[in-house]
Structure 1
């Protein structure tokens, strides 16, 4: 047993003890530019694999001669939702060690509101995230533009066409379901709900006082959360739940010729996946704090105190003591900072 433990400890990767030879790396430790690079690359990975799997499902396999359809019905949606889930997981692994892998303007805003992220970094992060998603979309297009052209030719449509063009546009960005009609308020609600749950899960996963994942399982659990949201709330508006994930590729498709399908989008939809996630993310911060966070803080304070433990209540403390600790936590943590 001891030999196994020693082996595991020795095999754990350790940070480099000195900078790379010939590289001036001092700026990387403190510079906002290093964080922007990490967010940029993480978002490139996010879109390269997320939009990439949609490209495979929509035009890749169908136009390659390998198969007529990748899956029938719901099976194709499952492929896309799981593809996006793993794309998120891999992107978080790439950037997580530098920035915590926000990869989402709504996440950056939420942690700023919570008090765990400086407001001065909001705009640089947003720029890096949108630029990374734009670049990821360009990468997918560079790989699949022949398949996109073949699909358009086979269906006698153009990318900018109101009907048909949305099919290939869906590789990159989102649009509302036809049954919503012009009710963009319902699409907005969909984005608020989806992002609310995303941030609720992220806040729980990243809270050390909660049942946070052990070791480096956090990115995988975030990916699972994205998969569940996609399966449950993905149809109304395509579950962007990330302003950069939608706006960056949308901007690319506008440049690449999708025209009004990109901006302003069906029923002027383009703003919905930008505003909705921001609202949902902020709501999640407040709800998590008051429903879960303050209780965890109170219990942590109580466990660290010197109060004798009375009759067992499941935690070893009376409800009166827990309530008193909770009241103290509310007073001490009135702002959303931990």
Structure 2
């Protein structure tokens, strides 16, 4: 009873009513979960001689991390965790452009902090494996635990194309999973299916450059390695590779988005807009938010906390690297 009262008092003190702040906090936590599991899998594969070379373990960790991140904040912020996905949602008018830079900053911050947490977690292992020298290249390099680097035989143009194709497949796959007008995934299992999608892409397209497909996943940890002691080589290795995982996934997101529109959503039969709202794909814009107070309408009237997307649609999707309430993909 005392514990319950204590938690109630703490909740009363710390509860945030501003919807945007709540979304940012959830997005920060989801991104943190995604990156800490992903990088920890990579650190374990690199520094453990028993597991060295076990790439599948690293890929599996990354895929499961996506699933965990979506379950962490999918119903609050949509759990984008990836600027490329946020960009795709803006292109389909499922997410407002003014929120895009805010979410990118939050995602970068989450990935930077999680890289620091992984460094602390594997501090002894990293220094033992590297023989006391933090290097970006060579047989005992450890920089690739945190950021991606192309294989020696991969050129910048080939690596750029690799990221456009990989991210395009990722976004196209996520859109098909979230589109309930298509072959709907059972409600609640969308994060699992997206995780399997990520695993399939990493297993088939990861050899060239590690399949970042996420500007935040790559740049945040890369920036951490720069300030933590690996030095400026983290930006110069691979003929200045660092900018490719920042730019190419955004282009890939646009390609994947418009391919799905062109080949699938443009050709749905005309239906009543209310029916489409019930059957539609995803929702990343909370239309119930009062523009003046940034609070949900019901919350403002009653002081009661309600989940994002209130009132819930009949077939609300909680999906993957994205979600929230429900609206169909724009057929523009």
TM-score range, shorter chain: 0.7 to 0.9
Q: 1:160 — aligned with what?
A: 135
Mapped to 1, the partners of 2:159 and 2:143 lie a distance apart of 18
Q: 2:124 — aligned with what?
A: 146
Highest RCO, 1 vs 2 (Cα 8 Å, sep ≥ 6): 2
Q: 2:65 — aligned with what?
A: 87
Contact (CA 8 Å) 1:169, 1:261: kept in 2 or not?
no
Q: 1:288 — aligned with what?
A: 260
Aligned pair partner of 1:237 in 196, 201, 209: 209
- TM-score, structure 1 length as denominator? 0.75
Contact (CA 8 Å) 1:138, 1:252: kept in 2 or not?
yes
> Taking structure 1 as reference, are residues 212 and 20 closer, same or farther at Cα in structure 2, changes over 3 Å only?
farther
Structural RMSD (CA): 2.4
- TM-score, structure 2 length as denominator? 0.77
> Taking structure 1 as reference, are residues 110 and 29 closer, same or farther at Cα in structure 2, changes over 3 Å only?
farther
Mapped to 2, the partners of 1:208 and 1:230 lie a distance apart of 25
Pairwise mapping of residues 88-107 of structure 1 onto structure 2 (< 5 A)? 88-107=66-85
Mapped to 2, the partners of 1:221 and 1:29 lie a distance apart of 32
> Taking structure 1 as reference, are residues 79 and 22 closer, same or farther at Cα in structure 2, changes over 3 Å only?
closer
Mapped to 2, the partners of 1:118 and 1:161 lie a distance apart of 38
> Taking structure 1 as reference, are residues 158 and 195 closer, same or farther at Cα in structure 2, changes over 3 Å only?
same
- How much has 1:117 moved relative to structure 2? 0.3
- How much has 1:31 moved relative to structure 2? 2.4
> Taking structure 1 as reference, are residues 21 and 293 closer, same or farther at Cα in structure 2, changes over 3 Å only?
farther
Question: What's the secondary structure of 1:179's corresponding residue?
Answer: coil
Aligned pair partner of 1:128 in 81, 102, 106: 106
- How much has 1:300 moved relative to structure 2? 5.2
Q: 2:19 — aligned with what?
A: 31
Mapped to 2, the partners of 1:276 and 1:248 lie a distance apart of 16
- 1:171 maps to 2:145: yes
Where in structure 1 do 4 or more consecutive aligned residues deviate above 3 Å?
Answer: 19-30, 299-302, 335-338
Mapped to 2, the partners of 1:54 and 1:161 lie a distance apart of 15
> Taking structure 1 as reference, are residues 295 and 28 closer, same or farther at Cα in structure 2, changes over 3 Å only?
farther
Mapped to 2, the partners of 1:119 and 1:295 lie a distance apart of 26
Q: 1:70 — aligned with what?
A: 51
| Structure with greater Cα Rg | 1
Pairwise mapping of residues 1-338 of structure 1 onto structure 2 (< 5 A)? 20-21=8-9, 23-24=11-12, 28=16, 30-59=18-47, 61-62=48-49, 69-70=50-51, 76-153=54-131, 158-160=133-135, 162-164=137-139, 167-180=141-154, 183-296=155-268, 298=269, 336=330
Contact (CA 8 Å) 1:158, 1:164: kept in 2 or not?
no
- How much has 1:28 moved relative to structure 2? 4.3
Mapped to 1, the partners of 2:97 and 2:13 lie a distance apart of 25
Mapped to 1, the partners of 2:9 and 2:75 lie a distance apart of 21
Write the deviation string for residues 176-227 of structure 1: whole angstroms up to 9, x where unpaired.
Answer: 01111xx201100000011001101111111121112112101111110110
Q: 2:322 — aligned with what?
A: none
Write the deviation string for residues 247-267 of structure 1: whole angstroms up to 9, x where unpaired.
Answer: 010010111111133223321
Mapped to 1, the partners of 2:233 and 2:149 lie a distance apart of 9
- How much has 1:57 moved relative to structure 2? 1.1
- How much has 1:282 moved relative to structure 2? 0.8
Q: 2:284 — aligned with what?
A: none
